Amino acid sequence: MLDIIPIHPAPSPAANAPALLQEIAAALDVLLLSGRRHCIDLGSLPLSPADRDLLRETLGTGEIRMELEALGNSRIEETGVPGVWWVRHSSEDGILLTESLEVCHVPEIVPADTTDIAIGLRRLRQRIAVPESGGH
Amino acid sequence: MLDIIPIHPAPSPAANAPALLQEIAAALDVLLLSGRRHCIDLGSLPLSPADRDLLRETLGTGEIRMELEALGNSRIEETGVPGVWWVRHSSEDGILLTESLEVCHVPEIVPADTTDIAIGLRRLRQRIAVPESGGH
């Protein structure tokens, strides 16, 4: 029984970032044409420090930072290229679980979901219908 | 020439919050039915500390906090009622300029704008087309 031996060649400086940047540009084109979002899982790619530096430098820093506390902690940063978001999700112990670049108008996790709004509205109505000790 | 004299009666405890909460519930209904967003300018209302406390307690705290650096600083907090966002905009000197409750899936200022994406994509393409000293 032969197992597949994973081969991880030592990456040369910035071996993968240039292709990623081309993928991002293509994904922005698709977003503009069709509204379709695209997600690049950085955890699944062998990124050298030089790759990360090139990505960071080329994409730059945007105006928005978000923190989301739900099943751990998510940090979402807009890059300097509008529509490209750097998303990190960590466990409650602060261990990085996933890291991705999302190409979209707004990361999927941010907008309030219709079902959640309906549930929240029902709860709000219950709270404000009984302001002191009675209500109608 | 008679000027209009603004009258500010001393607000009784939580005089305005109950009506605001009813307005928010109605706005959530509209959001669910038609997708229409609604904004309540808190700066234009006489809110007593008791009003603020009642709003805070009833709406609660949500999972998302955002900071946006553009023409000053915006802080956006999701409340515990999904679809209701507490938005504060301050000048660069830290002076609070506007404060509002936005009832929407996501505050209007957050999603990347199509025009901005198109401009950003053009710049990105220029950067990645000339990786070192040449390019095509």
Q: Which token pair is A12?
A: 């040369």
Q: What is the mean pLDDT of residues A94-123?
A: 96
Measured in angstroms, the CA of A44 and the nearest CA of chain B are apart by 23
Q: Which residue has the tokens 């999972």?
A: B63
Provide the pLDDT for residue B54: 96
- Which pLDDT band holds residue A136 (cuts at 50, 70, 90)? very low
The domain spans of chain A are 17-110
**Which residue type is seen at B103?**
V
Bridge partners, A41 (sequence order):
A100
Q: Would the ipTM clear 0.85, i.e. be above it? A: no
Question: How far apart, in whole angstroms, are the C-alpha atoms of residue A31 and residue A105?
Answer: 8
Is the CB of A117 inside 8 Å of chain B's CB atoms?
yes
What is the CA B95 to chain-centroid distance, rounded?
16
A interface test, pick of B23, B36, B110 with most A CB neighbours within 10 Å: B110
Contact B117 A78 (CB under 8 A): no
- According to CATH, what is the number of the domain B17-129? 3.30.1370.140
Contact B117 A22 (CB under 8 A): no
The percent of residues in chain B predicted with pLDDT above 70, rounded, is 86
CATH classification of A17-110 is 3.30.429.10, yes or no? Answer: no
Is the CB of A13 inside 8 Å of chain B's CB atoms?
no
Contact A82 B110 (CB under 8 A): no
Q: How far apart are the first and last CA of chain B?
A: 72
Q: With 70 as the cut, is the pLDDT of residue A3 above it?
A: no
SS (H, E, C) B16-43: CHHHHHHHHHHHHHHHHHHCCCEEEEHH
